[in-house]
Amino acid sequence: MSREKAVLREFNLYPLWQRRGQTEPALDPVVVAAQPVESNTAHKIVTGKVGAQDVSNLSWPDLKKMVKGCTACKLRTDCTQTIFGVGDVKADWLFLGAWPSMNEDVQGVPFVEQTGNLLDNMLAAIKLKRDHNAYITHIVKCSPPGNGQPGPDEVAQCAPYLERQIQLIRPKLIVILGEAAALLLGYSATFASLRGKVHSYRSSSSDGLTENIPLIITHDPAHLLQVPMDKAQAWDDLCLAVATMQGLALD
């Protein structure tokens, strides 16, 4: 069995998933053509600064230190620790979840146990690893109590942290994991209508310039564990992401 088929089998997409008119599943993401960039640019629902401090000029170590010691909102009083993120700090690929789960709060890293294993398989399917050309983080850095949801104030406090991470990493492409993460970034259409398209995230740089980063929205690994049939859609989204990245290399 080829490595690609083995990866798809781990992802539970082989041999069940096939494109129309094929007797074998499509294994090469190159076959999916990149869509034109949509005009749907992310405008964050909530914005704000962390306390009275400006993070726009912080280095990566200083930003990480600030997030670790953050007590700017009430989420910090109930969680074990903040979850900054993991991966390659100069990655071309940035993967964003919504907020950490209770298990992630305990272990201190995003996407652990079953959801982490599935995300790792998703990365492997497009020849990525957590520590190789991919960075993984959440929009909100603290786990809400009882696996609940953060409020607008908590999201606002974390927004500058994420924006500075994006400025420092300078990813070529962002992949949003799940409907909740899409909503936090301002994508308020139905999840079904958001998938399968290339959107745009407007990021400001420390020198005052802005750039539109291609962004693709797919299912959260936790959702895929509950609804395995949606893994075929997630694979389509990953193929679109690869094709989009390849198109950027040709520009």
Position 22 in a domain:
no
Position 12 in a domain:
no
Three-point CA angle 33, 37, 39, nearest 5°: 150
pTM exceeds 0.85: no
Position 33 in a domain:
no
In tens, the pLDDT along 162-194 reads 999 999 999 999 999 999 999 998 888 899 999
Position 129 in a domain:
yes
Position 9 in a domain:
no
Q: What is the radius of gyration, based on Cα positions, of the chain?
A: 18
List the domain range (segments joined by +) for residue 206: 38-250
The mean predicted confidence, pLDDT, of the chain is 82
Number of domains the chain is built from: 1
In tens, the pLDDT along 32-65 reads 344 444 545 544 434 444 444 578 889 999 999 9
Position 25 in a domain:
no
CATH number at residue 225: 3.40.470.10
If you search the block for the tokens 């997030």, which residue do you land on? 67
